[in-house]
A and B are shown apart, each in its own frame.
Chain A
């Protein structure tokens, strides 16, 4: 079976997920399914990979496609256009716990461990799912501790990656994941979203951990040693 889908693969594994979901929906082996990305000249455009909509939209679309396929006799070629189903929107939840070590002399914050708990339904591809969790957590770490476009008076001083630093391997804490089953998803498989999740709570977790460690409440990102130090010296607003 060949499925033509106006689906853009950005690397997170949408096509792999499509094959897995299609196999389940159509009652076939994954090896029997070919996913072909087609242009808008062939099919109406898919809105795109954003808003963590891909896995869930695919699941609903494939379920409906399989149903109509069976109804139509299960043979030949069929085009199915799926509109967003009515009803309550779907969300996923994530809680993160950060363990930090703060040097009270310098204010320097070292994130030792980041635990991400995620509510899940059916995980379509465990490795891809885990990479989204890890990639998100590391992105969140960047927001929390490192990234700064360093804008001042309308000028951007963080002009290159040499100044606006992204997390590197050496910067990482221990990353741990807890998958919490029982989440409410969509489709036959009960799938949920994972794409833009674990990057969200990280800054708050780190800032909360710093407050817990040394009683300093940092309210601007990134959490810098200078800001923590200023808090320790009891000089509110001293950090830039």
Chain B
């Protein structure tokens, strides 16, 4: 295939128009896409470079919502005062993804579109109850993040569609615990990762609990109805029930980190740890 055309639009409208062309592929940081292009897993007739689109770089906190432009980099999130105030764990995790070179250029929208189930940020966003604003040249729609990624590098993104904005609820009384299990090198993707988000009201009563598991299936997933599983009784038994449900819903693959049974057990262990931590915070 001949080398792709390369366009660098300077507005969202122009970017969406360019993405509407057949064979157009959106390019942000390129840290994942460049590898896919080189190995021919992705072929592009046009590369649409998004880094000069100002609408994608916006980041603001309004009315208990954090609105993150799809073109915001990990570095931007890590250093943002708004993120630090609204959802500090998001800033912390963003600041630790991969290495500084990735964080310089890789974007939230790109990470979500890439949909590697081992990635930290999509998992955390899932537990935070994020939703996405997607757009094509002729349409926009909003989707909850849950279900957006449904398989290995498979998402609900349509032809020519971009992740324009990620909307993250940031209510008062939210407690986030992120467990990232890297038994080998700290530089590696996690063998298993869990994000637990507990919401408490002013009295300290639990009003919401969300538990997301990563690297344990072809896409990150939410444990169904953890609040019911927690029940009103013995909290130890309740947390164990959540961990069991998470392990049941996992479909881990065997690799150098271990066989599926081991990974399933690590899901149990890390769900226990994450939920305990999220619930323990005052």
Contacts and interface: CB of A to CB of B under 8 A. Distances in A.
A210 interface: no
A99 to B, nearest CB: 18
Contact of A226 (B185, B186, B188, B257): B257
B257 A224 contact: yes
Contacts of A170: 185-187
A171 B185 CA distance: 6
A224 B255 contact: no
B185 A106 contact: no
Interface stretch (A23-31, A115-123, A160-168): A160-168
A126 interface: no
Contacts of B258: 224-226, 229, 239-240
B184 interface: yes
Interface in A74-109: 105-109
B6 interface: no
A225 B188 CA distance: 14
B265 A146 contact: no
B183 A106 contact: yes
Given A107-B183, A225-B183, A240-B254, A165 B188 contact: yes
Interface string B153-187: 00000000000000000000000000001011111
Nearest to B189: A162
A168 B184 contact: no
Interface in B236-279: 254-259, 261-262, 265-266, 269
B185 A168 contact: yes
A148 interface: yes
B184 A224 contact: yes
Nearest to B257: A226
Chain A residues touching B, majority SS = loop
A150 interface: yes
A176 B214 CA distance: 37
B181 A106 contact: yes
A231 B181 CA distance: 19
Nearest to B192: A106
B181 to A, nearest CB: 7
A222 interface: yes
A158 interface: yes
A84 to B, nearest CB: 41
B254 A225 contact: no
A157 B257 contact: no
A230 B184 CA distance: 16
A230 B261 CA distance: 10
Nearest to A163: B256
Contacts of A145: 184
Given A105-B269, A106-B269, A226 B259 contact: yes
A180 interface: no
A6 B183 CA distance: 46
Contacts of B256: 148, 150, 157-158, 163, 224
A12 interface: no
A165 B262 contact: no
B184 A229 contact: no
A238 interface: yes
Contacts of B186: 168, 170-171
B266 to A, nearest CB: 6
Interface of B: 181, 183-188, 191, 254-259, 261-262, 265-266, 269
Given A109-B183, A148-B256, 10 more contacts: A106-B266, A108-B181, A108-B183, A146-B184, A167-B185, A168-B186, A224-B257, A225-B184, A225-B191, A226-B258
4 pairs of A and B residues whose beta carbons are closest in the complex: A226-B258, A225-B183, A108-B183, A165-B185
